[in-house]
Chain A
Amino acid sequence: MKALSHFNHWRADPAGWVGSVIMFIFAVIAAFKWQSTGLVFYALVILRDVAASWFLLTRKQASQKMAFGFQDVLAYVSSAMPLVYFSSVQETPFSYLVIASVLAIVGFTLSTLSLFELGGSFGVSPANRGVVRSGVYRFIKHPMYTGYAIGELGLVFLHPMNFMIFILSICFYGLRARCENRLFYTKSRS
Chain B
Amino acid sequence: MKKLFQILTVILAIGALAQTIAIAKDRTLDDVAKPMNDGEGNPGV
Contacts and interface: CB of A to CB of B under 8 A. Distances in A.
Interface in B1-36: 2, 5-6, 8-10, 12-13, 15-17, 19-20, 23-24, 27
Interface residues of A, number: 22
Contact of B20 (A47, A48, A98, A135): A98
A98 B16 contact: no
Interface in A82-123: 94, 98, 101-102, 105-106, 108-109, 112-113, 116-117, 119
B5 A116 contact: yes
Interface in A32-62: 39-41, 43-44, 47-48, 51
A101 B23 CA distance: 11
Nearest to B20: A101
A117 B9 CA distance: 12
B16 A47 contact: no
A36 B16 CA distance: 15
Interface residues of B, number: 16
A47 B6 contact: no
A40 B12 contact: yes
A40 B19 contact: yes
B12 A47 contact: yes
Contact of B5 (A39, A47, A94, A105): A47
Contact of B9 (A39, A41, A102, A113): A113
A140 B17 CA distance: 23
A39 B10 contact: no
A105 B9 contact: no
A108 B8 CA distance: 13
Closest 5 CB pairs of A and B: A109-B13, A40-B16, A41-B16, A40-B15, A44-B12
Interface of A: 39-41, 43-44, 47-48, 51, 94, 98, 101-102, 105-106, 108-109, 112-113, 116-117, 119, 135
Given A43-B16, A105-B20, A112-B9, 16 more contacts: A39-B16, A40-B15, A40-B16, A43-B15, A44-B9, A44-B13, A47-B9, A94-B27, A98-B24, A101-B20, A102-B20, A105-B17, A113-B6, A116-B6, A116-B9, A135-B6
